[in-house]
Structure 1
Amino acid sequence: MEKFLFKGFKIFNGKEFIEDDCLLVEDGKIAKIGTGLECADAEVVEGNGRLLTPGFIDLHAHFRDPGLEWNEDLKSGAMAGAAGGFTTLVAMPNTKPAVSEPALVEYVLSHGAAAKAARILPAGCVSKKREGKEICEMEKMAEAGAVFFTDDGSPVATSHLLRLALLYTGKRLPRVMEHPEEISLFQGGQVHEGRVSAMSGLKGIPGASEEIDVARGIALVRDTGSRIHFTHISCAGAVELIRNAKRAGLDVTCDTTFHHLTLNENAVIGSGYNSRFKVNPPLRSVEDQRALWEGLIDGTIDAIVTDHAPWHMDEKDEPFQEAPFGIASLECAAAVLLDYRAKNHPEVPLELIFTKMTSAPAALLPEKWQGLGVIAEGASADLTVVDEERTRIVDCQTWKSKARCCPWEGMAFTGWPVMTFVEGRKIWQDDEEL
């Protein structure tokens, strides 16, 4: 197995930047951390003051495999993740067929591993075939390797079913990840209900749609003593509900997306209602966006995810109201956020951003994977090299992903991942590094 000696880096260990600037990788593990390290038979990676972080972890991505592989498959998704600095990706189960039985959990694991790129971990459905009628065999799916249970793309259909899932998972099985949405308020919606819906005449999706389902989940956690994770939180009301639930001692966690942190409804208006900005939940108000940053800072929001949603150009490049929801972003998400933070929120410590992309999401995975997201001696050598000074233009046509439709295409950002390692294997390197 390859040996790598990282020299002259500014090292972030998952919680903070440390004084040591060298790191030795042997046998897929971090063998030693220090200053002035030498190893005659190791390949040297020169840092020149660049950042070395634990590999980024994305708890929410879509790969359309099985069933819709022309949009994305597990191989292209794993390669795209690697090119974005991600070493671990959680695949959502709303495929065709939906990942609602152990054999399909195993399929995602085996096909993801075959890519020899970013690690792909499967989420399994809450309900069989994702139909919202009958609970899945969660124990068997967990044994097969499922790391979350979710009917993502939709909320769990009934409160009865969600309560059963929470009772069954408790604090022993992987967490239930809820897509917070009240369907009767969402149905037919296209954009955030507010300035953008008023200006466009498109049907709005109110923040209340999200808040109602968050309130339902919190009530059921209080009732069952279980735990729940709300994904892609987008509005101020939901942030406040989760903040209060945490203060009350409930085991409630959540994430938000790179695009909800860096875009708002004005981007939809400014683009002339370009379908590349159509996403569910919708890009919301400036006030909602501000609330997400506040929730990130005070610990209400636990992790940042991509919600990578790849579509073939023939499907996504349509009039706004006809196009599917979703933003493809794996390969540029980190750069978009790092650039946005530097220009708009320089008061937010870089350590906080990296924590929400590494050790914090790792802590929400099953125990087997909680050793990820850190740089420590003996830990898996999942590593990302970040060049804070690198400026690049987003070019979807050269992506590893099959998606060719992204709201940031043609825009320049500063601060990019340039190398990615999983278990001591170099899985991706920026062409400019070569």
Structure 2
Amino acid sequence: MRVVILPFYHGLGHVVRSTRLATELMARGAEVVVGVAADARRWPEARGVPTATLTELPPLPPVPDGAASPGSGASPGSGASPDGAGSGGAASGGAGPAPRLRLADEDYLRVALAEERALVREVGADVVLADFRVTGPVSARLEGVRSATIVNTGFFSFPFPDVVRDVTPALHRLGVPHEVAGRLLGDVVYVPDRSVFEPLADVRDPLSVAALRTVDEIRHVGPVLASDPLTVPDRARARTLLGLDPHAPVVLVSLGGTAQGYATLRTVAGLLGDVAAHTVLVTGPNVDPALLADHRADRLLRVTDESMLWTSAADLVVTHGGHTSVMETLALGRPLLALPGQDEQRWNAGRAVGLGAGEILDPADVAWRFVPTANRLLADDALRRRAEAVGAVLAAHDGARDLAEHVLSSARLAALGARA
């Protein structure tokens, strides 16, 4: 089996789980190529996964305090996609009416389709997997190749309805047949979570419901994380590997791979000196550490390839509430403090609250509540025990293996049907 994986970048969550999936597929004998933006290739390549460079939308820049987000003018939650793929103007001013989503820019779509189709042909792909890269299933169908979409159910509330409204007409204008553009999700939808947490009954938008009816199968596979949680070193070993004091409390702060939480990140960075712990601040690839020159963290990192190792070493994880960050924290049994900037992040963080393993703090209250809240959570032994109990259950469910096995088995069955 030859597999092409197409993650959207930015942020890192899609690239991280696509890389993990690629390694699982390769371990089962598949030939895999990850097509991704040039500055994201180092993640899969560091793990021995072949890559190809694809053109991608540029990341949205850090937004100063009090300024309007470049993605703030479309629909509720707009610009708040974990990918920075919301509104904010066309990438390069393509033909047709001005889109609300940057993803619908016709110049971007034209280039994306051409590059993806060329990659599919070059690899001789049997199946294409798209992680939020909405053109992936379209390119696959145009090449007569089976495809699947990896997506959380929150995607069907935002931004997928806007994708249908904006991207589908743009594809029509580019000459993509209606029967192809109308199947943006491909043949299979994989939800990288458990149905108890992301039930399909929560998908209510009429456009999303109609789109889901076009696929052959919808399958919950469990969280797809950078590593199998059961293989991540425990707290003591993680601290040894990272050179941390084995006894001092550790707080890890990581507010996502995009720059959309920059204002909150900057506020938190200036408060970390008052937190009763060794503090580690990860800015993300799209925030230059020079912008945080006045930070008070004990250690500042721009990016890390060892997010789960740092999480395992921590006594408290401060996150924006992205799905990958929340699931890594819960699966490794660590208390969580979420500073969500939009609805999808609040929904993800709400899981930690519902499980008794964390709290949510409104970014508007960070300046005066962050330090006392973080210190209180660090001292809460009941919270720590509850988080450990949650991790003991969740760590046993690794979605990457289930997803990889299903991709290969269903592709082989489809190949048999084609020959028949």
TM over 0.5: no
Higher normalized helix content (fraction of residues): 2
Greater relative contact order (Cα < 8 A, sep 6+): 1
